[in-house]
Chains A and B, each alone.
Chain A
């Protein structure tokens, strides 16, 4: 099992928003998606995930709705809103800028 990496602060919101652009997902689905697409590097535990979901919801970037899963279980599905997509754009741009800056520093010496 690959070592777990801590996320850069503030990136979790971005990851959640990005994940939800693919379509509505429940919390577990979001965590699983991030884990799989990061090839097990990024593991989001529910201690961070659910507070983050509540926070983002309060900000109006996502909405939550109880639905049936394909297995006929009740789960809360999160859907990104227009405001969420806009915010995602802002965060992606900010992240790219930050990432570039870090890379520049790392290559400099």
Chain B
């Protein structure tokens, strides 16, 4: 066929109806002339008329023949098939909707979940040559990893050059930019000069840092982010070289950088909080302001080419020994793959979700397969009929193929839409709190694989009836009417296997979700030692030049407290350097009469002191929070600046430090003894310090009256909405000093939510997957039981004829349903015990084989199984003997 002919054919196909009308007109004309000429003819008139009339008879035949010429062969046949499929789908809408939605659910959730895992865990970090980057951590004597101290960093950098080509460091910090609209809190990082090269960041304008920028004597320099430069500094083209004031100090702007993902410095804290920096400033540290005992630096190193992590670790361990020897220190060092350090904590929960979603996909495919198998049996008669009427086997196979592909395409399209919706939802929900979640995008490869799986699944099981149709005994199939007893056995078995597997997997998901739910419930029930409700905290800090001394700091916060007391009542407002649960500053203390206790001057600032949480709190802090006093006394109005310094400790502290004696009256020292000794006057029941899923930390509380601090949170106990309180805070700060920023406002409920976010996320996701699985299993069970009832109509009818009561028939069907459920649950328990061990680390306060959870899950599945089989069971009860006999 030439191209022209094809084109003409296509054009004719499109105006087929017009062509048919024209042909008819042409034929009418032709016949009219034939008739006229025949009557005009000389002798054998009648013959000619007869001849013409005879020839009219075959008009239909050649009309058909011409019509074929205006069609497009295969394409027209395909359209016909599609029309047929649409008719089939319209005839059985419930079946088609269930299959399509099941496919969509499987495809959508799998694609979304894998895309999230891929974007968070698998995609390379956004740094230059990220695979050779390692995180370097200080290792304490008890094996705990902490950030590094500045002297450690210097040692590591100097002594590791055989395995690390470079070592860089950063710490997050805030600065205040004063603008005409008020003080604005900026977040950024102080970095070593080589960090920019380490992460592969080039300035948009100006230059990066040089090593001499790090000197304490050098002028202060800063790099600003592009958004800050544009929005706050009017995109001044001459910004480089200009001096701006940050937190009261003059800084020379040396460059502007674009806020790309790699501006998030390699620090686990920065990654989980995910606020892109507004500025970079060089490190300006020395051993005086950053002693060996102060651990707060994030250190990152680059492996030399050919050096792997294991070799680097061996070498660094040796280096740590020599450092300990030279410096008299006890701390070690450990290198971790940077990806592990930054997103490693998401591996376990995301892995669990990926396994769960894979189970869901298997359940979805099993469901589709079992539905198609059930349908294949009922369609046997239809296909036999078609074969009998002359449909070729090829044509039947094609029909089934078109049907399967059509469903898969619709299901796939819905699945893709679902995946996009899920990812968008997760981005909105967790974009700010989970590292890289904001950058999650749908992975096209996974989408293709998921669609392919469902198409193959649909095809594989859809093709069975068609393939059989070509082979099978038409006469028998027609006679059996699709109810055949013979030959159904093997398909019945595969259907049973599928449904049992579905129930088992649903049980595993249900049990896992149950375990996670119980964990969250236990976690939220952890005693916090104070009343969490209606507690709102604002946070601010006083930039140093103007609030350099304790008196000015105290004056500011006294004024703030007075203002707050005026609005909320004096007994409802207080101060704290950090919030409970959220965690905050920790540091070493010394105890009078013990090693390191006395005379610890700067030169002795070792790292062998007891590490405890340190809090500076208002004198009425414990009263406002509602904490319980265990022994001794709380702070009183006489604990003021100038009075003997006193502290309060929590029960964990008392138990750890003074296991055999009373803590009250003992004296402890901070800051390596610089400030002398403070007397413990009271022990309070633990206010939960640190994450809820770990044992409470030892904590020591100092009075804000005696030790004013530049950075404080102010707490208000009030039922007024948090947003309204936040604006009150802002107004009060502006009134007292317009250059002081309100850094953030959070409620204690927010803190608890943030602390349990990961557990709740796992719970919600697994819960959702388990619900979907349960739903699918219910649909699967329903399908199989209804099919089985339909198959057994005759048998049930005969039983009814022989005297079986409706109750007997129902029991018969229900027993079958229960058998599937019980077998599935039994297998599911085995699976759940195995998965339980896998997720043990993510559980809290509940064992991986918790009998309560397992039995509740089993009961739930049993109930769902009963519900799913109620409708078909009732149908069975109505089995009519007459019907059964008629069918024969």
Contacts and interface: CB of A to CB of B under 8 A. Distances in A.
Interface in A7-61: 26-28, 31-32, 45-48, 50-51, 54-55, 57-60
Contacts of B70: 54
A1 B44 contact: yes
A27 B34 CA distance: 11
B61 A58 contact: no
Interface in B1-49: 2, 4-5, 8-9, 12, 22-23, 25-27, 29-31, 33-34, 37, 44, 47
Contact of B55 (A1, A46, A51): A46
B47 A1 contact: yes
A29 to B, nearest CB: 9
B29 A47 contact: no
Contacts of A57: 8
Contact of B8 (A58, A66, A76): A58
A46 B5 contact: no
A69 B61 CA distance: 28
Contacts of A45: 55
A32 B40 CA distance: 14
Secondary structure call for the A interface: helix
Interface residues of A, number: 23
Interface string B848-869: 0000000000000000000000
A60 B26 contact: no
Contact of B66 (A1, A26, A51, A66): A51
A69 B26 CA distance: 13
Contacts of B5: 58-60
Contacts of A1: 44, 47
A74 interface: yes
Given A46-B55, A47-B58, A51-B65, A74 B25 contact: yes
A73 interface: yes
B69 interface: yes
Nearest to A45: B55
Interface string A57-78: 1111000001000000111100
Contacts of B8: 57-60
Nearest to A46: B30
A42 to B, nearest CB: 15
Contacts of A32: 37
Contact of B22 (A31, A46, A76): A76
Contacts of A54: 23, 66, 69-70
Of B33, B47, B70, the most chain A CB neighbours within 10 A belong to B33
Contacts of A60: 2, 4-5, 8
Given A28-B34, A60-B8, A76-B22, A47 B61 contact: yes
A20 to B, nearest CB: 16
A46 B58 CA distance: 9
B66 A58 contact: no
A1 B62 CA distance: 25
A46 B52 CA distance: 10
Contacts of B61: 47
Given A57-B8, A58-B12, A59-B5, A47 B26 contact: no
Contacts of B65: 47, 51
B26 A50 contact: yes
B26 A76 contact: yes
B47 A28 contact: no
A22 B8 CA distance: 25
Nearest to A48: B62
B2 A59 contact: yes
A50 B62 contact: yes
Given A51-B69, A57-B8, A59-B5, A46 B25 contact: no
B29 A75 contact: yes
Contact of A27 (B9, B12, B30): B30
A59 B5 CA distance: 5
Given A50-B26, A50-B27, A58 B69 contact: yes
Interface of A: 1, 26-28, 31-32, 45-48, 50-51, 54-55, 57-60, 66, 73-76
- Interchain residue pairs A-B with the least CB separation, the first 7: A47-B62, A58-B8, A28-B33, A28-B30, A51-B65, A60-B4, A51-B66
15 contacts: A26-B26, A27-B29, A46-B31, A46-B59, A47-B59, A47-B61, A47-B62, A51-B69, A54-B69, A55-B69, A57-B8, A59-B2, A60-B2, A60-B8, A76-B26
Given A28-B29, A28-B30, 16 more contacts: A1-B47, A26-B26, A27-B26, A28-B33, A32-B37, A46-B55, A46-B62, A47-B59, A51-B69, A58-B8, A59-B4, A60-B8, A75-B29, A76-B25, A76-B26, A76-B29
